Amino acid sequence: MKTIIVTGASKGIGFQTCLQLLNSGNRVIAIARSKDKLTRLQENSKSNDLETLSADITTQKGLKEITKLISSNGDIDGLINNAGMVLNKRFMETTDQEWSTVFDVNLFAPVRIIKNLKPYLKRGSHIVNIGSMGGFQGSDKFPGLAAYSTAKGALAILSESLNAEFSKDAIAVNCLCLGAVQTQMLEKAFPGYEAPVQPSEMGKFIADFTLTGHQFMNGKVLPISLNNPE
């Protein structure tokens, strides 16, 4: 049994990833802001190996709560930085505050979480950063996603950089650049758009990759997409 932390665990891809990890016999620490939705995850999983924490990963208070919980749970085998936010707004209309918020959630929160939890990551553990095809160099870009795509691109570079620093500790770091998945976040940003992949399908892929992918690759930024940029 492995212990895996998942942020953004209350809905969509994070929710389904938690279920897949639990169904395959692992222990999951699920983190999200919504306590009610985390309760729904507990009800759906019916697992004694699920621990939940309602916390805002962009605040110092939330970060302290996460670190305290992990420090009392012993070493961990994996961290999935899945929490994110998308802003669909043209570049010339996006405010400085909106740029800051998008980067806070998609880049700086994972930076802080990794820094705080690194002492608890075992040798042989795996950090999986959930990026986007919008942040994958050379992919087609959607108009309106400049802030989001730039933040996810930075997350991809962070993953490569951490591999260079963490390899000596036998901690693998990879970034999965996801194409379109039919989540509430996508529906809110692009009403009426139908993605080719369901959250349950992507959740299974991410769970399997977190458990075994680092046996074959490390420091990689991987496009996970049926089309470009979807």
CATH number, residue 205 = 3.40.50.720
Average pLDDT over residues 211-226: 94
What are the percentages of helix, strand and coil residues in the chain, rounded to 5? 50, 20, 30
Q: What is the pTM of this model?
A: 0.93
| 27 strand-pairing partners | 3
230 inside domain = no
Mean pLDDT of the chain: 92
Pairing of strands 172-178, 76-81: unpaired
pLDDT in tens, 91-134: 999 999 999 999 999 999 999 999 999 999 999 999 999 999 99
Total residue length of the chain:
230
User: What is residue 225's predicted lDDT score, i.e. its pLDDT?
Assistant: 84
Contact 2, 78 (CB under 8 A): yes
Residue 62 lies in a domain: yes
Residue 229 lies in a domain: no
Q: pLDDT tens-digit profile of 28-41?
A: 999 999 899 999 99
| CA–CA separation, 208 and 126 (whole Å) | 12
What is the end-to-end Cα distance of the chain in Å, rounded?
34
Alpha helix (H) residue ranges in 46-169: 60-71, 96-103, 109-117, 146-166
pLDDT at 88 over 60: yes
Residue 51, in any domain of the structure? yes
* Domain-embedded: residue 185: yes
Q: Are 10 and 32 in contact (CB under 8 A)?
A: yes
Give 160: exposed, middle or buried? Use CB within 10 Å, 0-12, 13-18, 19+. Answer: middle
Rounded distance between C-alpha atoms, residue 74 and residue 66, angstroms: 13
Residue 149 has pLDDT above 60, yes or no: yes
At 140 the three-state DSSP class reads coil
Q: How many structural domains is the chain composed of? A: 1
The answer to whether residue 136 sits within a structural domain is yes
Any idea of the CA torsion for 29, 35, 39, 41, to the nearest 10 degrees? Answer: -50
| Residue 202 within any structural domain of the chain | yes
Residue 30 domain-assigned? yes
Range of the domain at 50: 3-224
